[in-house]
Chains A and B, each alone.
Chain A
């Protein structure tokens, strides 16, 4: 397997507090990989450094072997990395489909054009992406009145717009109903299958993680303690210690 993302000795400190400490891992092409850990483990900090929202204190990030450390989010996006946020970021003053069209306008390098009407541009293409996330019937509703789960799906459609090679999803199912969570992750798994996109995601819901992730990494207090298959992670005593102080959480989680 060839790797698409490689992270080497990533570190972030705030006034001496190490939020992320010497984290190294890689993501292979076509892989659906989860990054889990208790609250405050440093998952979001990690994500923000991968996508350029935060500058790492030390360490490097490589995309397809090219260093992207310290680049701005928009530059990393242009290199084929999509991202969804823990708290959704959409444009409430636009309609659902216009949110997708906006990303397409950016993808097609049309931001500074003042001639055409924006809402006529790439409408069919945007519609296709809405269809992927099953939002096509809401295309012309104002984005400001959407339910939270729909916003999450819209954000996914936006992130798919420039046909990313790698998708970073920070808590893709947070705030959604259990049935909707399964459906959304199934959707992501299908996208990985169909389009060969690699996905790295963080998640709190263990059902979601163990049902879909090919590989799982566990982060605790800024340090990576395991990186392996679902089976390996489930049986790792250190992981059980972190999550339950030594119970058998994951066996139960799978049965649930």
Chain B
């Protein structure tokens, strides 16, 4: 019992940092509607800056003073990021900003590597709090007790700030209706900057406060961001008490999880989140999001048309070049092109559900990796012929999407995104921890194609036929009644329902179709590489696809494909350099700021301006 209680206290202490970071994210999302993926990076910066300052400043005052200063410093960095990166793109399409924040993650990763080096830093112990106190005979670190004591004060201070001060009134008003607050004469730009700085400062404090327990390393950003999103979603977006309850819940559960169910650690919090969202779709203390009736941000989407003669000629020319490639190009070009086609099909399937369906999925890699694993498992364990195993990839991914979609489709917006993320984590942890079947991070190897495909040229044509075929099929569906119904449900669910369209069912079918096509891409992928590892299922893989779709342009049909081509080439070229993350991050940020409609969308706008047909769409 005493051990039980001590564990509970450890969980409570861990909740402190988590709550700080989560409350910052929640504040930022509430006011600016920006899903700040870089929040984990700010937390990591807090840890590194904290270590540096603690080593510079001596004694009691030095330790706590360093923590205070760290928050201020990270807050200033946050304000800088908001002003330079985010402020130019508030008018961009919804969620486009998250691509920019992803660029920020990459930049901060490499900057931290440059400044602090690759080695992990041990956090200094808090002066005077080095030992343990015995509670019911069990040792509990003194610093843990201090953290447990501090957390309610932080919650209260934040609550006071939000509910009892003028700034808080503005923040709450802006959370409900940004445009109205702007119309009432509040300088939105500075309100956003201020809130972003405050949220960043909270992340910085979280990073500094956890130093004596955890230290600082370069993996902290990705390690915490999953947990932070889970906390914010379980608590309810924008609810501080909700974030507090969820932080405690998650931290305590994971402490017990480590002790009693060690193989569950990676997946536990996502299971909790999935259960909470299924029972309470808007989190424990969250309220249903009222969809903004203020119209779409950015230029309205144009009616879609199949390509005219010029477009068809261009596509035909591109296909001809691709078909002739094996006769002229070296083998590494073929390999690169296969990667590109696989990624393009994967991105096109995400674009189908995201652009045409309006459902932002954060976990699309589950279907890509799911398809790859399905085929690989069959080959690895049962020696199934490649042709049969390959067919199984889209089939299994489609079934997986039917299963996951059954839970997710009932949600919308950020909650939908988070639940898809949770399920993809679930799939990933299966692949990672169910070693008996999946061999964990050793991966499944020796998954080669059948003999008749086992030459680079043969497999290249196989990829070309199926990859391009898949992309064209998705395009065709978008132009078919089903694609129109999907778009109708996105444009105006109310009108669609009032004219006989079962919007949720259409979305469900589309989700399964997108999953199957991602699985097809995964199937092509696994036989081209000969192996598959859990990395294909990671959050980062889902984000790669998201970035590509946003970069290419959500509101254009070719967006996903063009973005994927662009990204594959750029990554292949940049990853040869030492600080490629920094450059890639800066490049992403630059594209986002210069071309807020995405590459294809911006090219089209430019083209129309040149031809002077901007006001009416060409038929």
The residues of A with any CB-CB pair to B shorter than 8 Å are 51, 53, 72-74, 77-78, 83, 85, 87, 89-95, 98, 101-103, 105-107, 110-119, 121, 140-145, 155, 158, 161-162
Determine whether B138 belongs to the interface, using a CB cutoff of 8 Å to chain A: no
Ordered by A's residue number, 17 sampled pairs between the chains whose C-beta atoms are within 8 Å are A74-B501, A78-B500, A85-B494, A85-B498, A89-B495, A91-B492, A93-B300, A94-B488, A95-B303, A102-B484, A102-B485, A106-B499, A112-B482, A112-B485, A117-B480, A119-B305, A142-B617
**What CA separation (Å) do A94 and B301 show in the bound complex?**
8
Is the CB–CB distance between B293 and A87 below 8 Å? yes
**What CA separation (Å) do A112 and B487 show in the bound complex?**
13
Choice from B477, B483, B494, B500 contacting A53 with Cβ under 8 Å: B494
Contact A74 B479, CB 8 Å, known A92-B296, A93-B302, A93-B303 = no
Is the CB–CB distance between A113 and B501 below 8 Å? no
Q: Hey, which chain A residues are within 8 Å of B482, CB to CB?
A: 111-114
Choice from B305, B488, B502, B509 contacting A91 with Cβ under 8 Å: B488
Fill in one digit per residue for B261-294: 1 if any A CB lies within 8 Å of its CB, else 0. Answer: 0000000000000000000000000000000010
Specify the chain A residue showing the minimal Cβ separation from B485. Answer: A111
Determine whether B410 belongs to the interface, using a CB cutoff of 8 Å to chain A: no
- Beyond A102-B484, A114-B483, A155-B495, 19 additional pairs, beta carbon < 8 A: A53-B494, A72-B497, A73-B497, A74-B502, A87-B293, A91-B487, A93-B302, A94-B488, A98-B303, A98-B484, A102-B488, A106-B485, A111-B506, A112-B482, A117-B306, A117-B480, A118-B479, A145-B300, A145-B615
Specify the chain B residue showing the minimal Cβ separation from A161. Answer: B499
In whole Å, how far is B298's beta carbon from the nearest beta carbon of chain A?
12
In whole Å, how far is B501's beta carbon from the nearest beta carbon of chain A?
5
Q: Hey, which chain B residues are within 8 Å of A117, CB to CB?
A: 306, 479-480
Q: Hey, which chain A residues are within 8 Å of B494, CB to CB?
A: 53, 85, 89
Q: Hey, which chain B residues are within 8 Å of A72, CB to CB?
A: 497
Choice from A105, A111, A115, A142 contacting B300 with Cβ under 8 Å: A142
In whole Å, how far is B50's beta carbon from the nearest beta carbon of chain A?
48
Q: Hey, which chain A residues are within 8 Å of B305, CB to CB?
A: 119
Is the interface on chain B under 10, 10 to 19, 20 to 34, or 35 or more residues? 35 or more
Is the CB–CB distance between B484 and A142 below 8 Å? no
In whole Å, how far is B598's beta carbon from the nearest beta carbon of chain A?
15
**What CA separation (Å) do A162 and B482 show in the bound complex?**
19
**What CA separation (Å) do A94 and B302 show in the bound complex?**
7
Q: Hey, which chain B residues are within 8 Å of A140, CB to CB?
A: 619
Is the CB–CB distance between B306 and A105 below 8 Å? no
Determine whether B457 belongs to the interface, using a CB cutoff of 8 Å to chain A: no
Q: Hey, which chain B residues are within 8 Å of A101, CB to CB?
A: 484
Is the CB–CB distance between B498 and A142 below 8 Å? no
**What CA separation (Å) do A112 and B501 show in the bound complex?**
10
Is the CB–CB distance between B491 and A93 below 8 Å? yes
Is the CB–CB distance between A118 and B480 below 8 Å? yes
In whole Å, how far is A110's beta carbon from the nearest beta carbon of chain B?
5
Is the CB–CB distance between B481 and A89 below 8 Å? no
Specify the chain A residue showing the minimal Cβ separation from B509. Answer: A112
**What CA separation (Å) do A173 and B136 show in the bound complex?**
75
Choice from A78, A89, A106, A114 contacting B492 with Cβ under 8 Å: A89
Specify the chain B residue showing the minimal Cβ separation from A168. Answer: B498
Determine whether B616 belongs to the interface, using a CB cutoff of 8 Å to chain A: yes
Determine whether B476 belongs to the interface, using a CB cutoff of 8 Å to chain A: yes
**What CA separation (Å) do A141 and B618 show in the bound complex?**
9
**What CA separation (Å) do A161 and B500 show in the bound complex?**
11
Specify the chain A residue showing the minimal Cβ separation from B484. Answer: A118
Contact A105 B303, CB 8 Å, known A93-B487, A141-B616 = no
Within 8 A of A (CB), among B454-509: 476-477, 479-485, 487-488, 490-492, 494-495, 497-502, 506, 509
Choice from B480, B484, B490 contacting A115 with Cβ under 8 Å: B480
Contact A94 B491, CB 8 Å, known A106-B500, A112-B509, A114-B480 = yes
Q: Hey, which chain B residues are within 8 Å of A121, CB to CB?
A: 481
Q: Hey, which chain B residues are within 8 Å of A106, CB to CB?
A: 485, 499-501
**What CA separation (Å) do A24 and B477 show in the bound complex?**
47
Specify the chain B residue showing the minimal Cβ separation from A98. Answer: B303
Is the CB–CB distance between A73 and B484 below 8 Å? no
Within 8 A of A (CB), among B30-69: none
Q: Hey, which chain B residues are within 8 Å of A119, CB to CB?
A: 305, 479
**What CA separation (Å) do A15 and B39 show in the bound complex?**
39
Is the CB–CB distance between A110 and B481 below 8 Å? yes
Q: Hey, which chain B residues are within 8 Å of A115, CB to CB?
A: 480
Choice from B476, B487, B616 contacting A94 with Cβ under 8 Å: B487
Specify the chain A residue showing the minimal Cβ separation from B480. Answer: A114
Specify the chain B residue showing the minimal Cβ separation from A72. Answer: B497
Q: Hey, which chain A residues are within 8 Å of B300, CB to CB?
A: 92-93, 142, 144-145
In whole Å, how far is A169's beta carbon from the nearest beta carbon of chain B?
12
Contact A74 B497, CB 8 Å, known A91-B487, A93-B302, A118-B484 = yes
Is the CB–CB distance between B499 and A77 below 8 Å? yes
Q: Hey, which chain B residues are within 8 Å of A107, CB to CB?
A: 499-500
Q: Hey, which chain B residues are within 8 Å of A103, CB to CB?
A: 499-500
Is the CB–CB distance between A92 and B500 below 8 Å? no
Specify the chain B residue showing the minimal Cβ separation from A94. Answer: B303
Q: Hey, which chain A residues are within 8 Å of B502, CB to CB?
A: 74, 111
Q: Hey, which chain B residues are within 8 Å of A158, CB to CB?
A: 495, 499
Q: Hey, which chain A residues are within 8 Å of B303, CB to CB?
A: 93-95, 98, 142-143
Specify the chain B residue showing the minimal Cβ separation from A115. Answer: B480
Is the CB–CB distance between B500 and A142 below 8 Å? no
Is the CB–CB distance between B500 and A91 below 8 Å? no
Is the CB–CB distance between B616 and A83 below 8 Å? no
Is the CB–CB distance between B301 and A92 below 8 Å? yes
